[in-house]
Amino acid sequence: MINEIKKAMSPSEWDFANSILYKMCSDYPNHTSERSIAKIWLIGRSYAAAIERRTDGISYDDFYIDKVKPVLAKHDIDSWFSELAQYKNITDENIDKIIFAHKVLVDIFHEISMQNKRSLASKYLHFHFPNLYYIYDSRAKLGISRYKDHVGIVKNIVSISDKEYQSFYLKCHKLRKHISEEYTLDLTPRQIDNLLLRAK
Q: What is the DSSP string of 17-81?
A: HHHHHHHHHHH----SSTHHHHHHHHHHHHTT--TTSS-TT--HHHHIIIIIHHHHHHTTHHHHH
Domain ranges of the chain: 13-198
DSSP one-letter code for 117: -
Render 136-197 in DSSP notation, one character per residue: -SHHHHHHHHTTHHHH-------SSS-HHHHHHHHHHHHHHHHHHHHH-----HHHHHHHHH
Residue 197 has pLDDT above 80, yes or no: yes
Residue 55 has pLDDT above 70, yes or no: no
Mean pLDDT of 179-194: 97
Residue 15 has pLDDT above 80, yes or no: yes
One-letter amino acid of 43: I
Of the chain, the percentage scoring pLDDT greater than 70 comes to: 98
Kindly report, residue by residue over 103-123, the tens digit of the pLDDT.
Answer: 999 999 999 999 999 999 999
Looking at residue 21, its pLDDT comes to: 98
Contacts 24+ apart (CB under 8 A), 167-176: 168/134, 168/136, 168/140, 168/141, 168/144, 169/99, 169/102, 169/133, 169/134, 169/136, 171/144, 171/147, 172/134, 172/144, 172/196, 173/90, 173/95, 173/134, 174/150, 175/144, 175/147, 175/150, 175/151
The predicted model scores a pTM of 0.94
Mean pLDDT of 137-152: 95
Asked if residue 30 lies in contact with residue 36, where contact means CB atoms within 8 angstroms, the answer is: yes
Confidence of residue 61 (pLDDT cuts 50, 70, 90): confident
Kindly report, residue by residue over 64-113, the tens digit of the pLDDT.
Answer: 888 898 999 899 899 999 999 999 999 999 999 999 999 999 999 999 99
